[in-house]
Amino acid sequence: MKTPLSDFSAETLLREGLPPPNTRRWVVRRKAAVVVAVNSGKITLEQACEIYQLSEEELLSWKHSFETHGLAGLRTTRIQQYRRGRLIWCRLLSAYVPTRD
């Protein structure tokens, strides 16, 4: 049974190793703490989104980046590099795809 959202005080979150609810600066470790808490079942995805005022899409992108690239994937500059690398790779592939005449 999950804890009701009203029971999540700043002290409770900090005790659980989570950032405070008023967090605005999301460094790598804070993102990772929230992702791990959701993955381990300490809090649900919905609770995390409500507590931290995050969109589900944003939190899921952190989760995917963390699972794919580890802590480095949660760096903002890393996300841009991974996306840029994927875009370059797609352009390279499309340049070599034969066209039908």
- Where does residue 74 rank: exposed (0-12), middle (13-18), buried (19+ CB within 10 A)? buried
The topology under which CATH files domain 5-95 is Arc Repressor Mutant, subunit A (1.10.10)
Position 40 scores a pLDDT of 94
pLDDT digits (tens, 9 = 90+) for 36-75: 999 999 999 999 999 999 999 999 999 999 999 899 889 8
CA distances from 88 to 53, 59, 65, 83, 94 (A): 33, 25, 19, 9, 10
Q: Where are the domains of the chain?
A: 5-95
Which tens digits make up the pLDDT trace of 3-32? 555 556 667 776 778 999 999 999 999 999
Residue 72 is inside which H or E element, if any?
none
Answering whether pTM is above 0.75, one says no
Structure tokens at 48: 């995390």
pLDDT, mean of residues 79-95: 58
Among 14, 19, 16, 42, residue whose Cα is nearest residue 29:
19
